[in-house]
């Protein structure tokens, strides 16, 4: 393989995400030789890989929304974990009719789901208003709900964990009928496909990239930068709501303190690992999805290495620092200058 082809491959947007995923998977194979073994028990798929794909479902959904927000505003929504808790609280509280535990729905499931998604959309609209209309820095604007969101969820559930012990509610976090594939995986696939089709079949993807690259220039050509940024935060909120419903279904309850806890950092890391520039502009949805699965595989690896749950953010933060450094213009210029110096020295040596 000549240098030009190698440079073309290594400069591809998905090169780094795929390399990171392969590296993490290889570590898992070394640690767990039967990592890729998949079996079927009672018509259900089992195995480490299935578990990674299943557990990453909520993160994949969050990463999709985080990608759009990052591309349009050049900032991140750190409230998505709290919005998950709010959506779960609204849904379970309506289903339970205010009781702490029920074995039958007290209200319509459709009503509860719609109300939960509307609450999540409202949270996204609040963030979008602060960022797009008031021009508040995204990290600062979303810090409000990051801090207050779980408190709102606690108010909705009256400070209790609300249990919904109904089989149909638990299906969203388990299995539907005789399907061998976990339902959360189907939710993740459907979410990615729908968002990808919307971005491909409409001009929304191009508008988001244009606003993220240069918002002032986008306004000059007739784009409503404020509305586009606002819309991405609403979409991010709705997707966080969907992730919250899936997470709630897994544990058949609304636990405001734990649902979505620390997932906002994983979502940001997934976007970074996906080869997306955290300062906004062009983005890769598939890259973020690969990044999400990489994070979950990394989490599985760290657990296999007996790393405690409260220590995981430290290791993930180190990965974020490395990725952001590799993406920075200063680092890229340093590498380019170093290469040019080596080439010039080699040329001078050849002339001698």
Q: Which residues pair with 162 in a beta bridge?
A: 254
Judge whether 76 and 255 are in contact, CB under 8 Å: no
What is the C-alpha R_g of the chain?
A: 22
pLDDT of residue 346: 60
Torsion of CA 321, 327, 333, 339, to 10 degrees: 90
pLDDT beyond 60 at 210: yes
Judge whether 178 and 38 are in contact, CB under 8 Å: no
Strands 39-41 and 253-254: unpaired
Our CA angle for 241, 244, 250, nearest 5°, is: 150
pLDDT of residue 349: 62
Whose tokens are 């801090």? That residue is 147
Q: What percent of the chain has pLDDT over 70?
A: 93
pLDDT beyond 80 at 241: yes
Judge whether 64 and 127 are in contact, CB under 8 Å: no
What mean pLDDT do residues 287-307 have?
86
pLDDT beyond 70 at 342: no
- Rounded Cα gap, residues 37 and 30, in angstroms: 14
SS3 39: strand
Our CA angle for 105, 110, 115, nearest 5°, is: 100
pLDDT of residue 344: 64
Distances (CA, A) of 82 to 22, 79, 152, 225, 257: 31, 5, 9, 26, 9
Tokens representing 53? 């794909």
| Neighbouring C-beta atoms of residue 53, cutoff 10 Å | 21
pLDDT of residue 327: 65
Q: For the whole model, what pTM was predicted?
A: 0.90
18-27, 249-258, 315-324: the lowest-pLDDT one: 315-324
The per-residue pLDDT for range 16-73, each reduced to its tens digit, is: 788 878 888 888 778 777 888 888 888 888 888 888 999 999 999 999 999 999 999 9
DSSP assignment, residue 41?
E
If one compares 217 and 231, the residue with the highest pLDDT of the two is 231
Strands 162-164 and 253-254: antiparallel
If one compares 280 and 93, the residue with the highest pLDDT of the two is 93
The per-residue pLDDT for range 89-142, each reduced to its tens digit, is: 999 999 999 898 999 999 999 999 999 999 999 999 999 999 999 999 999 999
SS3 102: strand
Residue partners of 207: CB distance under 8 A and separation at least 6: 218, 223, 228
- Rounded Cα gap, residues 73 and 288, in angstroms: 17
Distances (CA, A) of 297 to 54, 96, 270, 302: 11, 35, 12, 9
- Rounded Cα gap, residues 88 and 246, in angstroms: 9
Residue 332: pLDDT band with limits 50, 70, 90:
confident
pLDDT of residue 301: 79
Q: What percent of the chain has pLDDT over 90?
A: 55
């Amino acid at each position: 393989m000549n240098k030009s082809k190698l440079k073309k491959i290594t400069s591809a947007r998905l090169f780094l995400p795929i390399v990171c995923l392969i590296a993490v998977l290889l570590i898992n194979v070394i640690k767990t030789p039967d990592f890729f073994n998949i079996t079927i028990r009672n018509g259900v798929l089992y195995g480490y890989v299935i578990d990674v794909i299943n557990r990453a479902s909520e993160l994949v959904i969050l990463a999709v929304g985080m990608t759009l927000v990052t591309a349009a505003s050049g900032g991140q929504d750190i409230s998505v974990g709290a919005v998950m808790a709010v959506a779960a609280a609204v849904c379970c509280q309506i289903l339970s009719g205010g009781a702490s535990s029920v074995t039958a729905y007290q209200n319509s499931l459709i009503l509860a789901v719609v109300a939960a998604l509307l609450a999540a959309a409202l949270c996204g609209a609040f963030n979008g208003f602060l960022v797009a209309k008031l021009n508040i820095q995204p990290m600062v604007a979303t810090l409000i709900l990051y801090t207050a969101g779980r408190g709102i969820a606690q108010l909705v559930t009256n400070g209790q964990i609300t249990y919904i012990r109904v089989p149909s509610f638990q299906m969203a976090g388990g299995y539907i009928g005789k399907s061998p594939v976990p339902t959360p995986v189907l939710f993740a696939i459907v979410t990615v496909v729908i968002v990808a089709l919307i971005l491909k079949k409409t001009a929304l993807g191009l508008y988001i990239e244009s606003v993220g690259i240069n918002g002032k220039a986008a306004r000059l050509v007739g784009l409503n930068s404020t509305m586009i940024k606002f819309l991405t935060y609403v979409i991010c909120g709705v997707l966080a709501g969907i992730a919250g419903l899936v997470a709630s279904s897994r544990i058949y309850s609304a636990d405001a303190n734990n649902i979505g806890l620390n997932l906002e950092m994983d979502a940001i890391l997934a976007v970074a690992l996906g080869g997306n520039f955290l300062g906004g502009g062009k983005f890769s949805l598939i890259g973020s999805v690969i990044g999400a699965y990489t994070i979950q595989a990394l989490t599985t690896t760290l657990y296999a290495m007996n790393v405690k749950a409260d220590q995981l953010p430290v290791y993930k933060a180190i990965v974020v620092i490395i990725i952001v450094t590799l993406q920075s213009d200063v680092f890229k210029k340093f590498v380019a200058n170093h290469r040019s110096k080596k080439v010039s020295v080699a040329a001078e040596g050849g002339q001698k």
